[in-house]
């Protein structure tokens, strides 16, 4: 009351009153329990196992319909969109299901120490680490991003050609395989062995190769600019 008399236009004294202030939740505590505890471990296992279960609903189909209709209606120069929803509501799971029938290159840029599923692609995160990018010029940023995209598609092409040589005996077989089985094969390889802690071996090696190649392109580009 006395505080309000001194500053009647402010409700801060009321908001800060001890009766209205709750104790903060301990940092180690969450809805998943304490790290390493029984509830925490069970929660992680349930999350990992859920990705192996049959997908419920048709959100992945709606996503494809949206992409197709949005592109046809607008023909945007920059054909991308953002999926916005609360944590744990199925955004990543929807994209994962989408990738079974539509060839998709997924990258997780979550900060590696932060918990979540699917886990971060560590090497890619470090390649795009915010602090290092902040020191680059616009031209350097353009080269950095372009080098990654080039390396990503090169590595993807290698992966596809390698498996088609094993699975297919002629060009027609390769086209049929790529059309009907390529997407789900790539999805399965990029998700096999993933846990809450880390991605699986195939995906780790895939993105290690991508980043290594991208770094080579960046260096070559810098040398080319120097000579020029």
The per-residue pLDDT for range 97-123, each reduced to its tens digit, is 999 999 999 999 999 888 788 999 999
Other Cβ atoms within 10 Å of 154 Cβ, number: 15
C-beta of residue 190 within 8 angstroms of C-beta of residue 202: yes
State the chain's mean pLDDT as an integer: 84
The per-residue pLDDT for range 186-197, each reduced to its tens digit, is 999 999 999 888
Phi, psi of 42, deg, nearest 5: -65, -40
Cα separations (Å) of 124 from 105, 201, 209?
13, 15, 10
Residue 148 has pLDDT above 90, yes or no: yes
pLDDT (0 to 100) of residue 209? 97
Mean pLDDT of 70-83: 74
Helix orientation angle between 138-167 and 171-180, rounded to the nearest 10 degrees = 120
The per-residue pLDDT for range 43-61, each reduced to its tens digit, is 778 888 888 889 999 999 9
pLDDT (0 to 100) of residue 32? 61
Query: Looking at the whole model, is its pTM more than 0.75?
Result: yes
pLDDT (0 to 100) of residue 48? 83
Non-local (6+) Cβ contacts of 4 within 8 A are 10, 13, 14
CA distance 149 to 31: 38
């Amino acid at each position: 009351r006395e505080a309000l008399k001194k500053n009647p236009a402010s409700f801060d004294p009321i908001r800060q009153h001890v009766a209205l202030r709750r104790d903060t939740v301990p940092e180690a505590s969450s809805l998943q329990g304490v790290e390493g505890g029984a509830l925490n471990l069970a929660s992680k296992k349930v999350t990992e196992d859920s990705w192996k279960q049959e997908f419920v609903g048709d959100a992945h189909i709606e996503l494809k319909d949206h992409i197709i209709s949005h592109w046809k209606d607008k023909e945007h120069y920059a054909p991308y969109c953002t999926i916005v929803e609360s944590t744990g509501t199925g955004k990543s799971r929807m994209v994962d299901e989408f990738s079974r029938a539509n060839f998709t290159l997924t990258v997780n840029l979550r900060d590696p120490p932060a918990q979540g599923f699917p886990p971060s692609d560590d090497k890619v995160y470090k390649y795009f680490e915010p602090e290092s990018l902040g020191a680059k010029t616009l031209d350097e940023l353009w080269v950095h991003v372009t080098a990654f995209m080039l390396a990503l598609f090169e590595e993807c092409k290698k992966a596809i050609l390698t498996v088609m040589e094993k699975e297919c005996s002629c060009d027609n077989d390769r086209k049929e395989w790529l059309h009907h089985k390529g997407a789900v094969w790539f999805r399965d390889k990029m998700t096999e062995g993933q846990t809450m802690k880390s991605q699986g071996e195939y995906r780790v090696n895939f993105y290690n190769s991508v980043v290594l190649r991208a770094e080579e392109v960046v260096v070559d580009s810098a040398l080319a600019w120097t000579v020029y």
